[in-house]
Amino acid sequence: MTADDFGASYLQQRLSGEFALVDHIGVRVESADDTRLVLYAPLAGNANDKGTAFGGSLFSVSVLAGWAWLTRHLARESCAADVVIQESRMQYLIPVRGDFRAQLCLPAAEEVARFRRMLRRAARGRIGLRVEIRDGDDVATRFDGLYTAAMRPG
Amino acid sequence: MTADDFGASYLQQRLSGEFALVDHIGVRVESADDTRLVLYAPLAGNANDKGTAFGGSLFSVSVLAGWAWLTRHLARESCAADVVIQESRMQYLIPVRGDFRAQLCLPAAEEVARFRRMLRRAARGRIGLRVEIRDGDDVATRFDGLYTAAMRPG
């Protein structure tokens, strides 16, 4: 895989290069293609004294999964825009007791098309993205984030 | 100040001892008394490449401020209960460009009394807590968390 694929190694480089905390958390891009975006993190370094994952770590990996999906989408479209989180909701349903994976729930094609139109017309677009962390088959946390992409000036 | 005050040094020990990520983020308890709970964190180590604080770090310090306030409240009441976050909403209003402080907005006395009654009757209580991070006089992020405290068995 080369950087031109905008795949796992491309996103790993972006994440590690742009967020100081990424390497402390141990975030690793496990999958990044058109059908699937998954970030992995180890429990070690993210645990509390009960042996479950800290809510702030689960949130961080979730918010980064949404950022990574949207950043990859923009890079593939050769669209020079920066992505920031604007608002989010996080539900903690069951404790996470091991290494964990945050998986993006792919947005509907109409939502992506609407986002692209906003970005083209107003140089700024918003999109809602959902990320889930699972424990086996069960959803452990559900993150819903509203992201804004803004075209870089010039 | 002694540990009996359940003040800043007590909470610092609890936070550093119970959450592996706390020292990576650089969380420091700045104030912890009956009128004020403030956690501080440096921008360095929590910044992104734009020189603003990472949303996951801002969330982590906010969720810990709520946890710290409730943990202190329970400790002062000699109440052996564990606190976890159940659900949260986070609004990112303006970027944070320097070291930052997360301050708990004290809950209404009736809310605290209701929480204590639930905990006494059902060995489990819920309370909503708000935490703000400010940039000068402006609110930069607003966190609303629903926390659960559960009495330890035995």
CATH number of the domain that residue B26 is part of: 3.10.129.10
Query: Per-residue pLDDT tens for B127-149?
Result: 999 999 998 889 999 999 999 99
Q: Which of A100, A92, A56 is nearest to B55 (CA)?
A: A56
Give the model's confidence band at B5: pLDDT under 50 very low, under 70 low, under 90 confident, else very high: confident
Mean pLDDT value across residues B40-69: 96
3-class DSSP state for residue A108? Answer: coil
Mean pLDDT value across residues A113-123: 97
Give percent helix, percent strand, percent coil of chain A, each to the nearest 5: 35, 40, 25
What pLDDT does residue A153 have? 87
- Any bridge partners for residue B104, and if so which? B131
Amino acid (one-letter) located at B54: F
Q: Phi, psi (5° rounding) for residue B135?
A: -115, 100
Give the model's confidence band at A4: pLDDT under 50 very low, under 70 low, under 90 confident, else very high: low
Query: Per-residue pLDDT tens for A37-77?
Result: 999 999 999 999 999 999 999 999 999 999 999 999 999 99
Query: DSSP per residue over chain B, as a string?
Result: --GGGT-HHHHHHHHHHHBTHHHHHT-EEEEEETTEEEEEE-STTTBBTTSSB-HHHHHHHHHHHHHHHHHHHHHHTT--EEEEEEEEEEEE-S---S-EEEEEEPPPHHHHHHHHHHHHHHSEEEEEEEEEEEETTEEEEEEEEEEEEEEPP-
What pLDDT does residue B137 have? 86
Amino acid (one-letter) located at B92: Y
Report yes or no: A64 and B60 within 8 Å, Cβ to Cβ. Answer: no
Measure B8 CA to nearest chain A CA, in Å: 20
Measure A94 CA to nearest chain B CA, in Å: 9
What's the token pair of residue A69?
A: 């999906």
Measure A137 CA to nearest chain B CA, in Å: 20
8 Å CB contact of B48 and A18: yes
Q: Which of A121, A22, A149, A73 is nearest to B49 (CA)?
A: A22
Q: Is the pLDDT of residue A3 over 50?
A: no
- CA angle A26–A29–A34, rounded 5-degree value: 160
For B83, name the nearest residue in chain A, comparing CA atoms only: A50
3-class DSSP state for residue A93? Answer: coil
What pLDDT does residue A52 have? 96
Q: Which of B76, B77, B57, B53 is nearest to B65 (CA)?
A: B57
DSSP state of A122: H
Give the model's confidence band at B4: pLDDT under 50 very low, under 70 low, under 90 confident, else very high: low
Minimum-distance CB partner of B63 among A46, A56, A61: A56
What ipTM does the predicted assembly reach?
Answer: 0.95
Contacts of B24 in chain A (CB under 8 A): 21, 24, 45
Report yes or no: A61 and A41 within 8 Å, Cβ to Cβ. Answer: yes
Cα radius of gyration rounded to whole Å, chain A: 15
pTM over 0.90? The answer is: yes
Mutating which of A46, A50, A58, A59 best tests the B interface, going by the most B Cβ atoms within 10 A? A59
Contacts of B60 in chain A (CB under 8 A): 54, 56-57, 59-60
For A52, name the nearest residue in chain B, comparing CA atoms only: B19
What's the token pair of residue A32?
A: 């990044």
- Tell me how far the alpha carbon of residue A57 is from its chain's centroid: 13
Give the model's confidence band at A137: pLDDT under 50 very low, under 70 low, under 90 confident, else very high: confident
Q: Domain total for chain B?
A: 1
Query: Per-residue pLDDT tens for B55-110?
Result: 999 999 999 999 999 999 999 999 999 999 999 999 999 999 999 999 999 999 99
Boundaries of domain holding B44: 3-151
Q: Is the pLDDT of residue A2 over 70?
A: no
What pLDDT does residue B1 have? 45
For A144, name the nearest residue in chain B, comparing CA atoms only: B89
Measure B109 CA to nearest chain A CA, in Å: 26
